[in-house]
């Protein structure tokens, strides 16, 4: 299967996309382009020549506080009100391509874009919001850790992600 990941545009057919999570399907089909136009989120889609849109993710800026982080990380940081982060707010792959590694490739692409942006704009951590336990396990498999007070919100230090990418 040959596919490309690119910014969402009007030519992408979103109506047939289904990931199995009604709220993610609804957001992607009805609101993703509006969030992108309003500069609330940048939306990227994976497309192949057989199925069309087979996955998507959104990226936004985000801030953390020292209190959000585990103590062993927070105590090493300056006491600023806001710590810069990037949010992978939504990530989903179509049920038609389940088990083909599309979710992993979408995550890798998102992390790569964040690392690239981090060369120009400070990004201390990459944050994800897991919809359920299965999504949490997916992210934890790539080194994301839950926030102490928000177990479905997970993070990966950008420095850790950059080191992992450099080793590839």
- Catalytic entry in 138, 139, 144, 155: 139
> For 130, phi and psi rounded to 5 degrees?
-90, 130
d(CA 33, CA 30): 8
Three-state DSSP state, 10: coil
Compute CA distances 87 → 12, 17, 160, whole Å: 23, 22, 16
Query: In the annotation, is 57 catalytic?
Result: no
Q: Which residues are catalytic?
A: 139
């Amino acid at each position: 299967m040959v596919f490309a990941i690119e910014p969402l545009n009007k030519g992408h057919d979103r109506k047939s996309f289904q990931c199995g999570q009604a709220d993610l399907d609804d957001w992607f089909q009805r609101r993703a382009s509006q969030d992108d136009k309003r500069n609330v989120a940048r939306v990227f889609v994976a497309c192949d020549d057989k199925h069309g849109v087979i996955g998507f993710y959104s990226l936004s800026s985000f801030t953390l506080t020292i209190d959000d982080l585990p103590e062993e990380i927070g105590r090493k940081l300056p006491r600023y009100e806001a710590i810069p982060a990037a949010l992978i707010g939504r990530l989903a792959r179509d049920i038609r391509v389940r088990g083909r590694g599309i979710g992993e490739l979408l995550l890798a692409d998102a992390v790569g874009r964040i690392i690239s942006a981090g060369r120009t704009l400070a990004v201390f951590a990459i944050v994800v919001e897991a919809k359920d336990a299965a999504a949490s396990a997916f992210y934890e498999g790539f080194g994301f850790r839950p926030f102490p007070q928000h177990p479905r919100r997970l993070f990966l230090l950008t420095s850790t992600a950059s080191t992992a990418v450099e080793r590839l």
